[in-house]
Structure 1
Amino acid sequence: MDLSGWRIAGIQHIRPFCGEDEGTNTALEFAYGSLSLPQPPATPDAPLAAACAAWSGAPDDGVDRISSLPDEILRNVVSRLPGCRENPLWRPGLVDTLGLTNDVSDILAAHPGPFRCVQITCCYLDMNREKIKGWPKLVADKGVQELAFINRPWPLDLPLPTTLFSCTSLTRLHIGAWKLPNTATLPDAVAFPHLQELFLTLITMKDKDLAFLLERSPVLEVLTIIASQRDVRLCLASRSLRCLQLGMSSLGDITVADAPRLERFFLLMTRRIGGNKFSTIKIGNAPNLRMLGYWPPGQHELQIGNTIMEVSPCTIIPSVKILALQVQFEVRNEVKTVPAFLKCFPNVETLHIQSVKVNRPTGKVSLNFWQEACPVECLQHVKKLVMHGFRGNKSEHAFIKFIAERAQALKKMVIMICFDTANGFDAKMKPFTTIKWASEDIKAIHFKLPPL
């Protein structure tokens, strides 16, 4: 039985990491979680071919037609069958890591292939480095297409085996809690000619090594960097990239120099270098950019062409249809930058606003502020507003009321409530009853309560 599509998980359930900070724990949970690990391309519920043939009225003559298929097709079919990922052998509460390393090595060596999806996670990969160096080569020789290779994570700067660069058949790669090798020492021919998706979590890397990975991935479509152990600096020139995601990292200057196919650019809980120096994010040639978010006003400078938008909000980006902003509504100086952003994206149809909690409020804004600072042209195409993290303060209400009374194309408004509904719910909801809707298409506000 082919075991492609399996997971090697020495410890399945994540326990607290003593000595690690909260940000690292969050990144680890994300790395090991189902959101970042692709599901193996198999299902135990798929009907067998013989059952399908019987159901379709094919003759039931007992002939084994499947075995007569060409070997190439049979290998493709078998590589999609579910393996032993539910076997309790791979889910112990405690594990003999050295023994597990030996077992994995033996299985990978004995397996005839092909491998379609292999996920090696939650193992202490520092225990037997020499054997572990051979794992990428073993799966490479058997045509692995999707690989997740994640350290446990101690130590966080464990050198990534250079044998990984022999996996030239990869289409998806997720590596976590490794230190990238000095790419200058790798052979000139090293490349990932088929790689479409690259996911880097808790990686220690130099700028030149990240640039090397991108340069050697000519058809890369999705790049995700989460919780980089060093500041992320990037100068991107890619004819294939469609989605760029940067999260839980300190950002240096990010330049999207030439990305004609880029459609989505996401930031998630990013911060400035050293906590005080502005990072500049420049977008040069990205004519197909459709989605931008979650942009944190006051944290980075956004430069489109030669124009810094916070300073001169005259640049128009007509391609963006979905815009997401993080806003501290009780920090007046930050809120004052929001209209400048809205003016630059006149064709936005879906607007997401993440309301960020403020420990020390420094001022509020009223409905008059929005009416004076943000002309109605900014909202002429907005059809949907989603407010995340709504706490019911006056500044949030002022913004929502402004959108509702100016956006004539608005069809849907969703408010994600982020407070205890047993405490002052009626008072926080009362301002919604005074809204005078500009749109005739909207019928109601959709409220979503926090989970119990």
Structure 2
Amino acid sequence: MATTASNRRIDSDEPSGTGSGDCADFISNLPDEVLGTVVSLLPTREGGRTQALSRRCRRIWRVAPLNLDDRDGRGFSEKVVTRILSGHIGSARRIALTRICPLPSRYDYSKHREIYDDAGDGRIDEWLRSRDLSLLQELELAYSYEGRGTTLPPSLFRLAPALRVARFGCCRLPPNLAVDFPHLQQLTLHRVTLTDETFRAVLSGCPTLESLLLEKNVGVGCFRVSSPTLRSIGFVSPCKQQGDDTDDVHELVVEDAPCLDRLLSLSQKYGSAIIRVIWAPKLEILGLLSYGISQLHIGTTVFQKMIAVSLTTTMPTLKVLALDYVGPDLDAVHNFLKCFPCLESLYIILDPRRFEHTYCENKLPLLKKMENMPKYASLDDPTECLELHLKKVALKVYYGRGVEVDFARFFVLNAKVLQKMEFGLVDDFGDEWRAIQNMKLQLEDRASHDAQLEFKRFSWNTFKENKKHTHDLSIANPFGASFFDGYVSL
């Protein structure tokens, strides 16, 4: 009975009262504008289903700001998208089409596959031109992998004056592009083909951009970034394919970024990249640095494959550093500490290959080199961050044997303001093992009496990606939030 009464009131165009014996229907009493906002915040499928409730809801859905989002895992066919757009007369608030299937130009019978030309997609142009995009806040257009040659229409970049978030994937950006996104804050380019000129046009057309994710894009040999507002950059170079012997190197140059505070180099183990930081006076967070970065330039300081070639420039603003597969090479890590004298948090993914080599007989030279790892930093040349700033060190994956113990013990004995040292283990080795580790690491002789050791065991794989932290500026330390995803404290 209550459901029937509720439906009658939603269907009515008149304000409903609350007669004796009736249940109050607060939803029906809401103005159309408020109901329209509620409907536009629902997932697309649920928002569309509200039309079945009443004539009033059908009218509200048609005029409410459109939320067209296929990110529920099932996607929409071309016919469904066309039907939604043709049946909706209101403005658009969010459009997210993440698996657009390109239209093949012909079928190659000799190879039994469809052929896709590097042509523009008229459907996108038609769909978006038929919409009122003056209120559009989020736009995501990503083609299936076969459509990476499809060119987006130029008109797309001049139709959304209120756009805040944009992502383009597996497509081409048109040449001679003019971009007018005056309020865009977040931009993602994923597997996009573009030119140097187009990239410059994109940056110049986004005067309020705060975060930029460049992920496996091609066509540009060197991404040169100059932006007075940019606070965060995520960069992933394309992976080299098996059997690819080319020497293609993708370069990111931060030329002028006065507000940049985080530079996230993501999944560079299998790529080949050069990163140059020329002017970023507020940079605080850097990583993950790995051997996939062939060169890292901080001013005039140069690292090649994680090894310091010259140490002439320091960056005292940097507070957080993450290194991928560099330990237990203490010399390499120590040079980073020299370059970043005010470092407060250090995250290191230890290299399992080095541990395997340590225990292999055919790798004795490496074993001897590692056995000479010093216990204490040089008194003649003290390291500022070890003396005054380094408060946290996190290591994974840690087995607690051989050179990895020597590597970890260096920080226990030398970091004078260390507060916490965390270890990510592959298993729970038990209380006795942890007690032995305290002795091996010489916890009683620690340089900082406040230093505590915390062991964490790997429990589950969360499949979380660090690239999400490029845009999530609410998290002050992205590695502090994600480095031990899937681990539980013992």
What's the TM-score, normalizing by structure 1? 0.71
Shift, 1:260, TM fit: 0.4
Unpaired runs of 5+ residues, structure 2, are: 1-23, 50-69, 106-120, 240-248, 358-362, 462-490
Partner of 1:245: 234
Indicate the structure (1 or 2) with the bigger Cα radius of gyration: 2
Partner of 2:486: none
Residue 347 (structure 1) aligned with residue 342 (structure 2)? yes
For the residue of structure 2 that corresponds to 1:451, the secondary structure is coil
Shift, 1:368, TM fit: 3.1
Alpha carbons 1:113, 1:143 under 8 Å: kept: no
Partner of 1:387: 395
CA RMSD of superposed structures (Å): 3.7
For the residues of structure 2 that align with 1:387 and 1:148, how far apart are their CA atoms? 37
Distance 1:79 1:137, change over 3 A: farther
5 Å matches for 1:126-275? Answer: 126=103, 129-139=121-131, 141=133, 143-165=135-157, 166-182=159-175, 184=176, 186=177, 188=178, 190-230=179-219, 233-249=222-238, 251-270=249-268
Amino acid at match of 1:102: K
For the residues of structure 2 that align with 1:401 and 1:441, how far apart are their CA atoms? 15
Distance 1:144 1:375, change over 3 A: same
For the residues of structure 1 that align with 2:27 and 2:290, how far apart are their CA atoms? 64
5 Å matches for 1:68-147? Answer: 74=34, 77-78=37-38, 80-85=40-45, 100-126=77-103, 129-139=121-131, 141=133, 143-147=135-139
Alpha carbons 1:324, 1:353 under 8 Å: kept: yes
Shift, 1:239, TM fit: 0.1
> Across the two proteins, how many residue pairs are aligned to each other?
373
> Higher relative contact order at CA 8 Å, sep ≥6: structure 1 or structure 2?
1
Residue 438 (structure 1) aligned with residue 447 (structure 2)? yes
5 Å matches for 1:361-380? Answer: 361=357, 363-364=366-367, 365-366=370-371, 368-369=373-374, 371=376, 375-379=382-386, 380=388
Deviations 1:115-174 (A, max 9, x none): 322211223133694323323334553521111111122132222233321233211001
For the residues of structure 1 that align with 2:185 and 2:420, how far apart are their CA atoms? 35
Partner of 1:308: 302
For the residues of structure 2 that align with 1:320 and 1:91, how far apart are their CA atoms? 36
For the residues of structure 1 that align with 2:37 and 2:48, how far apart are their CA atoms? 25
Residue 287 (structure 1) aligned with residue 281 (structure 2)? yes
Alpha carbons 1:328, 1:357 under 8 Å: kept: no
For the residue of structure 2 that corresponds to 1:371, the secondary structure is coil
Shift, 1:198, TM fit: 0.4
What's the TM-score, normalizing by structure 2? 0.66
Shift, 1:254, TM fit: 2.1
For the residue of structure 2 that corresponds to 1:168, the secondary structure is coil
Alpha carbons 1:115, 1:139 under 8 Å: kept: yes
For the residues of structure 2 that align with 1:367 and 1:136, how far apart are their CA atoms? 65
For structure 1, which segment, 117-126 or 284-293, has the greater mean C-alpha deviation from structure 2 after superposition? 117-126
Shift, 1:282, TM fit: 2.0
Question: Which residue of the other structure, out of 28, 31, 43, is the alignment partner of 1:67?
Answer: 31
Distance 1:257 1:386, change over 3 A: same
Shift, 1:393, TM fit: 4.9
Deviations 1:175-220 (A, max 9, x none): 11112221x1x4x5x3111111001112122222222211211111
Alpha carbons 1:232, 1:249 under 8 Å: kept: no
Shift, 1:320, TM fit: 0.7
Distance 1:221 1:366, change over 3 A: farther
For the residue of structure 1 that corresponds to 2:376, the secondary structure is helix
Residue 357 (structure 1) aligned with residue 365 (structure 2)? no
Amino acid at match of 1:408: K
Alpha carbons 2:173, 2:198 under 8 Å: kept: yes
For the residues of structure 1 that align with 2:405 and 2:318, how far apart are their CA atoms? 26
Partner of 1:9: none
Sequence identity, in percent? Answer: 27
For the residues of structure 1 that align with 2:73 and 2:221, how far apart are their CA atoms? 36
For the residues of structure 2 that align with 1:94 and 1:116, how far apart are their CA atoms? 21
Alpha carbons 1:353, 1:386 under 8 Å: kept: yes
Shift, 1:64, TM fit: 8.1
Amino acid at match of 1:396: E
Shift, 1:66, TM fit: 4.5
For the residues of structure 2 that align with 1:367 and 1:317, how far apart are their CA atoms? 29
For the residues of structure 2 that align with 1:242 and 1:92, how far apart are their CA atoms? 30
Partner of 2:479: none
For the residue of structure 2 that corresponds to 1:117, the secondary structure is strand
Shift, 1:263, TM fit: 0.3
Amino acid at match of 1:446: F
